[in-house]
Structure 1
């Protein structure tokens, strides 16, 4: 049992959301293959518009936006939640650091330092997830073979696969 984020063009996603379960499963199986076995059931389906969003100015006055309030990434790699956790951890670290140095926690200097560093990290993840989306959501001739070969090669290289997973976690 698992959850799946299937990235499709908007009109296709809307049409697939309205399909009977059997037809949806058939199309899912045809698209996904048998890497995860045979799909035999489907739960509730939802559609969400995907895109990359980032607040231009996540700090305003003494307020800082974090998590999905500050940035949204494609769900293809499941990184939105991880980014939010990193935001919380880094903001907490900045608060501790500011406290230790007797700085005003809500000052523009403290909050801007946090926002500037998070912007760099967030954009790296946004570019990564956007790249994955572009690689896996088009039908250029031959690209299916390259994708399959790349995924199979990655499966045969557990050390490299672990490294990539650690970098995205």
Structure 2
């Protein structure tokens, strides 16, 4: 009898994981709280709560995973490779540069708008006979015993009662499943809000990504499809976001970008609608309890400063599927608690390294103490000049040394 896995949460991680499992011949029931949009126009990708205005910088490892799933050709149409990364601090001497050609790689990764990533994933999920997709469903209870995990939910007027040997909770930062199981989580509020949008510049992006640390916050400018389109992610102090949002502030926002970046991108000519997202770090105290395993932001939500959050989740998912594939090949229980704990243990090193790095960058570059400013700029110069450092950092950033 084929075992069926229940995934709670149909965002980018949940959809990707469902496709990985189906490719391994494991049946999936995928539950998503929000109704998905209708994709009537093939040239549009409407926003969904999980596929919004944000962008994802897919690492080379994430690209490889989508290649294994046979999805990369469809995704590539909406993605742009990063061939160079420049890291600088406004008003300081330190700078560092990574070039794909020098590191002998095709690219450092690919930037894709989440709305398009979500559309491609959802379209493929709907074609997959091993995946049953149920959207607009609210989970109200999650319990488990030695044999099964049990879910109660409602969809409109209908009540659902489901059971499975394994439940994967990918239901976001404020995970209902995590709370239902009594799993605690540590939370750190960065007191920042990320301003996210797309801009048009007078100079072509040349497939170069910029990370510019400013007194307002760490500003990321990444290339998008279209020679002059770039994505902006700008974490600013919470409470100041009002001055950046709304059409009436378009020019004010463009002027601030110009002042922060100078003429590297030419003139900032046009901005799209800006959206804001609060930033915090949320780390679950456990990621596997009995027959339930946490995945995605339910397990670890981190700061977007280095674009590592989604890529870390993809590596988690890929490793979990490898464990489940071995269980299935042996005809063993997919929800075996010992196996899930082994999975969790196997991922801690990679997770802790990425979490610590992202948190350190945010804290380190947020402090305007002159001595610390000197130290970090000296560090950028050292990174740019000392042999052997760039390949090591590049491999970690690309997800190839997890």
In the other structure, the counterpart of 1:15 is 243
Q: How does 1:43-82 map to 2 (within 5 A)?
A: 43-82=272-311
The Cα shift of 1:9 comes to 1.5
User: Using the alignment, how far apart are the partners of 1:3 and 1:157 within structure 2?
Assistant: 31
Greater strand share, structure number: 2
Distance 1:7 1:164, change over 3 A: same
Worse-superposed segment, 117-126 or 12-21: 12-21
In the other structure, the counterpart of 2:17 is none
Distance 1:159 1:22, change over 3 A: farther
Indicate if the aligned counterparts of 1:14 and 1:47 stay in contact, CA closer than 8 A: no
User: Using the alignment, how far apart are the partners of 1:84 and 1:131 within structure 2?
Assistant: 20
The Cα shift of 1:35 comes to 4.2
**Deviations along 1:96-124, whole A, 9 cap, x unmatched?**
33345554221110001111222332121
Aligned-partner SS, 2:244: helix
Structure 2, unmatched stretches of 5+, are 1-228
User: Using the alignment, how far apart are the partners of 1:37 and 1:142 within structure 2?
Assistant: 32
Indicate if the aligned counterparts of 1:155 and 1:161 stay in contact, CA closer than 8 A: yes
User: Using the alignment, how far apart are the partners of 1:131 and 1:158 within structure 2?
Assistant: 23
In the other structure, the counterpart of 1:39 is 268
CA RMSD of superposed structures (Å): 2.7
In the other structure, the counterpart of 2:358 is 129
Indicate if the aligned counterparts of 1:7 and 1:137 stay in contact, CA closer than 8 A: no
The Cα shift of 1:160 comes to 3.4
In the other structure, the counterpart of 2:8 is none
In the other structure, the counterpart of 1:165 is 394
Distance 1:164 1:136, change over 3 A: same
The Cα shift of 1:165 comes to 2.5
The Cα shift of 1:167 comes to 0.4
In the other structure, the counterpart of 1:2 is 230
User: Using the alignment, how far apart are the partners of 1:3 and 1:22 within structure 2?
Assistant: 17
The Cα shift of 1:12 comes to 2.5
In the other structure, the counterpart of 1:86 is 315
Aligned-partner SS, 1:4: strand
Worse-superposed segment, 98-107 or 77-86: 98-107
TM-score by length of 1: 0.81
Indicate if the aligned counterparts of 1:54 and 1:71 stay in contact, CA closer than 8 A: yes
**Deviations along 1:32-80, whole A, 9 cap, x unmatched?**
4444444322222121111211222222331212112211110111111
Distance 1:152 1:26, change over 3 A: farther
In the other structure, the counterpart of 1:112 is 341
User: Using the alignment, how far apart are the partners of 2:264 and 2:274 within structure 1?
Assistant: 21
User: Using the alignment, how far apart are the partners of 1:22 and 1:158 within structure 2?
Assistant: 43
Greater helix share, structure number: 1
TM-score by length of 2: 0.38
The Cα shift of 1:150 comes to 4.6
Structure 1, unmatched stretches of 5+, are none
Aligned-partner SS, 2:271: coil
User: Using the alignment, how far apart are the partners of 1:66 and 1:108 within structure 2?
Assistant: 15
Aligned residues: 169
The Cα shift of 1:154 comes to 4.3
